[in-house]
């Protein structure tokens, strides 16, 4: 098993197991943690997400083999999209305001 932290809300995991496995992710359980299989014959709907050890996230991978997995905390994705839209909007407002002020000064 290989485990790589991309950032606090995104992890890349590679698992090679001949049998089914439980993937336990030792972060506080939240149903918004989603698992995306990048190269596996399984599909996301066949994997149950539940709590393990009274606090952690856990997924059951019903088929053995090689799995390449991306764990993502979805609220962070929406936060980044919202932040990008907000920053772009602010930039456009500043550009529009500056253009308006410069146009009025020339008149």
State the chain's mean pLDDT as an integer: 89
Bridge partners (DSSP) of residue 51 are 57
Q: Which domain holds residue 63?
A: 2-106
Q: What tokens appear for 91 in the block?
A: 């930039």
84-98: per-residue pLDDT in tens? 999 999 999 999 999
Q: What is the pTM of this model?
A: 0.70
How many H helices and E strands in the chain?
Answer: 1, 7
State the total domains in the chain. 1
Q: Which residues of the chain have pLDDT under 50?
A: none
């Amino acid at each position: 098993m290989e485990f790589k932290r991309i950032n606090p809300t995104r992890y890349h995991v590679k698992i090679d197991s001949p049998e089914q496995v439980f993937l336990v992710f030792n972060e506080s359980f939240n149903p918004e943690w989603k698992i995306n299989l990048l190269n596996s014959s399984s599909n996301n709907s066949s994997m149950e997400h539940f709590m393990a050890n009274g606090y952690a996230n856990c997924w059951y991978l019903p088929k053995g083999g090689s799995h390449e997995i991306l764990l993502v905390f979805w609220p962070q994705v929406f936060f980044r999209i919202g932040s990008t839209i907000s920053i772009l909007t602010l930039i456009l407002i500043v550009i529009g305001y500056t253009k308006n002020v410069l146009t009025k000064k020339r008149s």
